[in-house]
Structure 1
Amino acid sequence: MNIYDLIILVIILCLFAMFWRFRAISEQVKVSLEQYCDKHNIQLISVARTNTRISSYRGKLDFHTEFSFDFSGNGEDSYQGKVFMIGLHTLKVDTPAYKIDGNFL
């Protein structure tokens, strides 16, 4: 095994670890959004990752991700919100004003 084989092996391992971390973050945001939607009596329609970057937070290097999600307050209309996460921790959930049974909330 020469140095090039070792470099390729390290790159493959890093890509695998990154994929595994993205899966864990995606699963956590789904759980967090389901809890948020249950708490606010809204229906979660879909979730998608829109932005990912790597940076330091409290001295730890991790992924800062932004997700957009579609939801409905009355089962007829669809609205789009955003979720901001650092690693597996949800920072904030932003939603626009949405209609529940004919009234805006």
Structure 2
Amino acid sequence: MTLGELTLWLIIGLVVFQFWRIRSISEKANEYARQYCDQHQLQLLSVARQKTRLSGRHGKLDWYSEFIFEFSGNGEDRYSGCMYFIGKQVIKTSLPPYRIN
């Protein structure tokens, strides 16, 4: 095996590892949104990743991700909230004012 082949295999391995890491962060965001809505008596409608990039904030290099989730407070209206993650750690959750029953 040449140095070029070894480098190629390392790059492929790194890409696969990062794919699984981002997928894991998305699953954590979905779980967090479900728990957040249950805790605040909201109906979770959907979760989607809006942005993902590498960030060096908070002392280590990790993925910064923004997720949008849609929810309803009364079963009729639809609102969008945002969740911000660094790695699998939630940094902030923001919701607009919403109507409840």
Normalized against structure 1, the TM-score is what? 0.91
CA drift at 1:66: 0.3
| RMSD after superposition | 1.0
What is the identity percentage for the equivalent residue pairs of Structure 1 and Structure 2? 47
Q: CA deviation at 1:38?
A: 0.9
What does residue 92 of structure 2 align with? 92
SS at match of 1:99: coil
Counterpart-to-counterpart distance in 2, 1:26 and 1:2: 37
**Post-superposition offset of 1:51:** 0.6
Structure 2 gaps of 5+ residues are: none
Return 5+ residue gaps in structure 1 as ranges: none
Could you say what secondary structure the match of 1:74 adopts?
A: coil
* CA shift for structure 1 position 7: 1.6
How big is the shift at 1:2?
Answer: 1.1
Aligned residue type for 1:45 = L
1:90 CA drift (Å): 0.5
Q: Post-superposition shift, 1:58?
A: 3.1
Q: How much has 1:72 moved relative to structure 2?
A: 0.6
Q: Normalized against structure 2, the TM-score is what?
A: 0.94
Aligned residues: 101
Residue number in structure 2 paired with 1:46: 46
Q: How far off its partner does 1:86 sit?
A: 0.6
Pick the structure with more strand per residue: 1
Give the structure 1 partner of residue 31 of structure 2.
31
Q: Distance in 2 between matches of 1:30 and 1:4?
A: 39
Q: Distance in 2 between matches of 1:16 and 1:7?
A: 14
